[in-house]
Amino acid sequence: MTHAIEDEELPLPLLRRAAPVTDTEAQDDILVRRDHRRRRTDRMQPATAGALSGAAAGAAGLGVVHALQNAGISQGIANLALAWVVPPDAATPLAYLAAATGGAVVGAAFGSVTKHLRRSFIALLVWALVFFVSLTMLLLAASSAYGRGAGVTMAPAILLASAAYAIVVSFQLPLRRRG
């Protein structure tokens, strides 16, 4: 009876028949796969791409607020320039530089958090819009409830600026991806 069982083949679909064949190099015993294909790597790190797109997005966000609320932003920039003893001609470019620097820091963090979102630009764009606009709404509500706040007149411009930031910072995906 044992002889008959050994001759017959029993199909077991959940088990492999044999381990995959691998070759080893004699010197250091590193396994080398036969079907080894070179993986496509990114052009740059997610944090680097996020920082580059975040710098452009920070300046774009300040540009949106500056275009929509010119009087309020210009007065705020002039007051900061006077307090920090900065020449009035250099105050606005320094404000854009500060916005780009802050945007780069936030963009680098955003790129690191979204490093696994690699396939769909639309998914990244929607996620960025929802995240940054809701975060801006939370900060505006907290600033008006607990502090002096930006006021009701600046809130729509700030929300549009956060949407512009989200759109521009989403371009970190095609910036870092290859192909």
Cα distances (angstroms) measured from residue 21 to each of 13, 18, 28 = 20, 8, 18
Gap between the Cα atoms of 21 and 19, Å rounded: 6
Give strand pairing partners of 23: 32
pLDDT at 38 over 90: no
pLDDT of residue 159: 94
- Whether 64 contacts 72, CB under 8 Å: no
Gap between the Cα atoms of 120 and 145, Å rounded: 38
Residue 147 confidence class, pLDDT cut points 50, 70, 90: confident
Gap between the Cα atoms of 46 and 31, Å rounded: 30
Q: How many CA atoms lie within 13 A of 59 on its CB side?
A: 12
| DSSP state string for 66-90 | HHHSHHHHHHHHHHHHHHTT--HHH
pLDDT at 15 over 60: no
- Enter the pTM of the model: 0.74
Gap between the Cα atoms of 144 and 154, Å rounded: 11
Average pLDDT over residues 140-165: 84
Residue 151 confidence class, pLDDT cut points 50, 70, 90: low
Residue with tokens 């509500």: 141
Give the 3-state secondary structure of residue 24: strand
The neighbour count for residue 117, using CB atoms within 10 Å, is 16
The neighbour count for residue 160, using CB atoms within 10 Å, is 17
Gap between the Cα atoms of 41 and 85, Å rounded: 47
